[in-house]
Amino acid sequence: MDLEVLNGLLRPKSVAVVGASDTPGKIGYTVVRSLLESKYEGPIYPINPKGGTIQGLQAYTSVLEVPGEIDAAAVVVPAKLVPQVATECGQKGVKGLIVIASGFSEVGLHDLEDQVVTIAHEYGMRVLGPNIVGILSNSDKCNASFAPFLPLAGSAALVSQSGALLIAMDASTYIRRVGFDKMISIGNMSDVDFADLIEWLDQDASTECVSLYIEGIRDGRRFMETARKAGKPIVALKSGVSAHGAAAAASHTGSLAGAQKVYDAAFGQAGVVMASDLNNLFDRTLALSLQPPLTGDNLLILTNGGGVGVLATDSAERYGLPLRFAPKDVQVELKKHMPEFGSAKNPVDLTGMAGRDWYQDSTQYAYGHSWVDGLVVLYCETAMTDPQNIAEGIKAAVDASGVKGKPIVVSFVGGERSEAAMRWLVENGIPAYNEPDTAVNAMAALREYARNKAKASNGFTKLTDVDEAKARAIIAQVRAAGDRNVTEMESKMVFEAYGLPVVTSRQATTEDEAAEMANAMGYPIVMKILSPDILHKSDAGGVKVGLESEAEIREAFRTIMANAKAYNANADIHGVVVQKMAPWGTEVILGSVNDATFGPTLMFGLGGIFVEVLKDVTFRVAPVGVEETLSMLSDINGAPILKGVRGEAPRDTKALADVLSRYSQMICDLADEIQESDANPMIVYEEGAGACIVDARIILKPRKS
Ligand code: COA
């Protein structure tokens, strides 16, 4: 990161507005007015061919005429004029271009956009945009945008790919009471992208939390790497996550890998917290910008109302933070701050009789207790209490406890007095929400942040007992034979080269050969058609299972051949696969997609009906270490099945996790070749008995033309 250049672009000490205008209603007018109204302290240089003065400021006919240095140039001339403006800015030594003008790649004019970036880079400038609203910074009193005013001051920073949404969020910060120091519109991301801004904001002293509105990311791996390294929380709202491209996917895994699932996985692995909608983005940003992460699972809820306590308990479970009863010493102490009929378990019900003292004392005790990892304080407005008084009691308790690094969130349910008290709490660093559910969700964001951050190290170690050259040789043979599908046998050979546990399978081209192989392997046997032109083998009548004798083998061979020919007369038939029938176990599926944004991505789920109907699968961007693959096993809804249900022995999850990690290395090593792949089904046996892959499929990337 070139800090000096990005500082010039994002915290400019001087700003030129190229295309500045004296005509109200023009964007070039509004940007100058915004700078003036935000009380920007550096020099503002309006640039307009007519010269003269603009809104009382001396205007220049070109940046080249400006006497002083210019850090950033906000560009508000029509798109076709931007390359010329960029050249002049480069000659002037401007550090960065804030290209507000639209009319570039978003309308198909990619070359024009590339031209601007090329010129900028020639002169060592960076480009924000084009097609943006601009930049806003409270700490720099700088509104270089056509958003009406600076946001409510605070410690979050918003980076938005949508300009209109940024403007809307800017205005709503005053209603929602969520404070931002910076808002940066990123638009077409021709040059400066999310990763650049995460890196820059991470070192920005006025930013505590990075909040992102994302429509698409270009380089997913770089995004993940930068986010992983960031020391500040990042919360992201990702739009446009409908199952793009899924319909066109050729493998099972491909059809299950909607953009949403891959983004969820990638963000989780990178330590990024997700937001589900705009409200949630604001709510989570508030907590993450004001409170430390929740590093343990012991959440304590204090309340004066049973109803909100139960609601919050339900929410805690929903958001992955199920409540536990407080230990005895906590209960004994808290009992002192409530009437006889109160409850000190968890939620702790101080009852409707609770006034400031009980709130303050119990908050101080609970917040200071080592068992409590995080505290949620709920309050229902009563006629006997003043919400402001309660709020001050909570704040005093937190201060008096002397505890640092432990999160607290609050929810007041009531009228205007409660709203005012919550505003006061937020101004004093305690996130407050008018819904218990929202407060618990915000606490869950602090937990997700801590959990994601802890696992963001990944722990993958590259295996050496793999034969990449052999796998590549098999793929090269397939490529050499024309642009055709990889057969099951070839896929299995690639898997085997990576040490994956493939069931013994052999290729037979004649009935006699098949019989001989079956006799050597032992019964029961499975036989399957082997043809690059028949991917759906069962549909073609090309699979026979449970063959118990040579006679059955011979008959099955003839039937399969006849069925295959009837199914596709032109199919190139390589014979049949003869394999030992795997004993019964738990069917799972593993697979991969080469995601357009994040690259090779691993999938795991239970097989059969679980994958067909319930789509109970989970993803991780590869490669992944065993610790992370173990977490994949517990991610799925069907996880208890692997642990052993109804008296069944637990499955060999260790072997399974090892296979997943190994598989993830294979799809990364061969990422230039493999587009999608499946091991479906793989059968997992009891602990210690391992697993075996029964069927395999690889779909190669299209050839580079
Ligand atoms: N250098 C400096 N100023 C120049 C210039 C140059 N080379 N060439 C022309 N100008 C001046 C014009 O004379 C005009 O000033 P004036 O009002 O004094 O005549 C001013 O720059 C603006 O040019 P104009 O041709 O009037 O354009 P415009 O104001 O109608 O529109 C944009 C310009 C950039 C605002 C418009 O093209 C655009 O892209 N709008 C969309 C912006 C947007 O929505 N961004 C994304 C938000 S998400």
Q: Atom 12 in ligand 1: which residue has the minimum CA distance?
A: 19
* 167 Cβ below 6 A of ligand 1: no
At 476, is the secondary structure helix, strand, or coil? helix
3-state SS of 336-358 is CCCCCCCECCCCEECCCCCCHHH
CA-CA distance, 157 to 207, in Å (whole number)? 6
Instruction: Give the residue-averaged pLDDT of 152-159.
Output: 98
> Average pLDDT over the chain, rounded to whole?
93
The Å distance, Cα 152 to ligand 1 centre, comes to: 29
* 132 Cβ below 6 A of ligand 1: yes
Instruction: Give the residue-averaged pLDDT of 454-467.
Output: 82
* 417 Cβ below 6 A of ligand 1: no
* 52 Cβ below 6 A of ligand 1: no
Is the dihedral angle over the CA atoms 667, 669, 675, 678 positive or is it negative? Answer: negative
pLDDT at 166 over 80: yes
CA-CA distance, 82 to 116, in Å (whole number)? 7
The Å distance, Cα 91 to ligand 1 centre, comes to: 21
If one counts every other C-beta atom within 10 angstroms of the C-beta of residue 659, the result is 27
Q: What are phi and psi of 476, to 5 degrees?
A: -60, -40
- In the structure, what pLDDT confidence band is assigned to residue 39 with cuts at 50, 70 and 90? very high
- In the structure, what pLDDT confidence band is assigned to residue 247 with cuts at 50, 70 and 90? very low
pLDDT at 204 over 90: yes
Instruction: Let me know: does 473 contact 687? Beta carbons within 8 Å.
Output: no
Q: Atom 44 in ligand 1: which residue has the minimum CA distance?
A: 102
* 48 Cβ below 6 A of ligand 1: yes
* 59 Cβ below 6 A of ligand 1: no
The Å distance, Cα 122 to ligand 1 centre, comes to: 24
CA nearest to 662, candidates 447, 509, 461: 461
pLDDT at 245 over 50: no
Task: Choose the most confident range, by mean pLDDT, from 440-449, 478-487, 678-687.
Answer: 440-449
Instruction: Give the residue-averaged pLDDT of 294-318.
Output: 96
* 78 Cβ below 6 A of ligand 1: yes
Which residue type is seen at 52?
A: G
pLDDT for res 452: 86
Over residues 60-85, the pLDDT tens digits come to 999 999 999 999 999 999 999 999 99
Name the strands in the sheet holding 15-18, side by side, starting at the edge strand that comes first in the sequence: 44-47, 15-18, 72-75, 96-99, 126-128
User: Per residue in 296-324, is it b (16+ CB within 10 Å) or e — as a string?
Assistant: eebbbbbbbbeebbebbbebbeebebebe
pLDDT at 632 over 80: yes
List of E strands, 29-115? 44-47, 53-54, 57-58, 72-75, 96-99
* 677 Cβ below 6 A of ligand 1: no
Instruction: Give the residue-averaged pLDDT of 541-563.
Output: 95
pLDDT at 225 over 90: yes
pLDDT at 454 over 90: no
Cross-strand pairs, 606: 588
Instruction: Let me know: does 635 contact 618? Beta carbons within 8 Å.
Output: yes
CA nearest to 578, candidates 500, 496, 509: 509
Q: Atom 19 in ligand 1: which residue has the minimum CA distance?
A: 21
For 452, residues 6+ apart whose C-beta sits below 8 A from its C-beta are: 267, 268, 269, 270, 271, 272, 273
Task: Tell me the longest C-alpha to C-alpha distance in the chain.
Answer: 100
**Confidence (pTM):** 0.91
